[in-house]
Amino acid sequence: MNMNEFLIYFTQKYKGDWDTVYRAIKKLEKVEEKEFDQIKQIEEVKNKKYITLLDENYPKGFNNLYKPPFVIYYDGNINLLNKKIICVTGNLMNENGEKFLEKLVYLPNDYVFISEVWNGYDMRIITHLLKNNKSVIVVFASGIESGKKMLKMQDFVNKDVLFLSEYPAQYHITKRAYYARNRIVAGLADSLILLASQNNKLMPLVDNFIEQNKRVLCIAPMNDEENNDNIELINNGASLINSLNNI
């Protein structure tokens, strides 16, 4: 058994939980051969739909992460990881954000949009980009197959899309996984663009971009807005963005 197989075995056995996998490797936990034979028959393992931290194509953005994923599972166009990646999100719809969203479709096709596909405005952003034939990376806080069940997959059919997860295919979402996912998005993206945000719900994602020295770009709030978190972020050093040139 090679080291990649060890990583696959423990990631599957412990459902992608980074700390548990790390402890298993550190103490040289024994591999149960019968259990490993069963794991090798799992579709995403059998079809080698994964990248481990030992592979040459392991994303460079993960190299400086705190707790870099041991294994990242994927489905779709893996070559999207080699393009310029930006995260565009928001949870508050306003006129300024909508105008900038319309501008984004004019970015060159060597740009890829990464998303956590939250229900609501975040999902609307990604759906709009897909309708305009933009490439999209979706990072799940669940296994890929579980995550797909929560999407309207007809919106993603015949599109240039990549699904990613550090969890086995059928793993269901946990609160811990929601937070863990932020580091992956920030690791892959060059910058974060916030169209509009409220109630500090996007701050865990913002914090991961800041920790990784990535740019946080904010669309200007509307004149009469007081509940837009972009105001506070701009006042604390986030960059104000008003055109595609800023990207």
pLDDT for 10-50, tens place per residue? 999 999 999 999 999 999 999 999 999 999 999 999 999 99
* Whether residues 209 and 113 fall in one domain: yes
* Whether residues 99 and 175 fall in one domain: yes
* Whether residues 148 and 223 fall in one domain: yes
Q: Residue 71 domain-assigned?
A: no
Rounded Cα distance between 184 and 36, Å, is 27
**Whole-prediction pTM value?**
0.95
Q: Residue 73 domain-assigned?
A: no
Q: Are 225 and 209 in contact (CB under 8 A)?
A: no
Q: Are 91 and 197 in contact (CB under 8 A)?
A: yes
* Whether residues 28 and 140 fall in one domain: no
Structure tokens at 210: 């800041």
- Split at pLDDT 50, 70, 90, the class of 224 is confident
Cα 74 to the center of its chain, rounded Å: 11
Question: 187: burial class by Cβ within 10 Å (0-12, 13-18, 19+)?
Answer: buried
**Which CATH number is 237's domain given?**
3.40.50.450
Count structural domains, the chain. 2
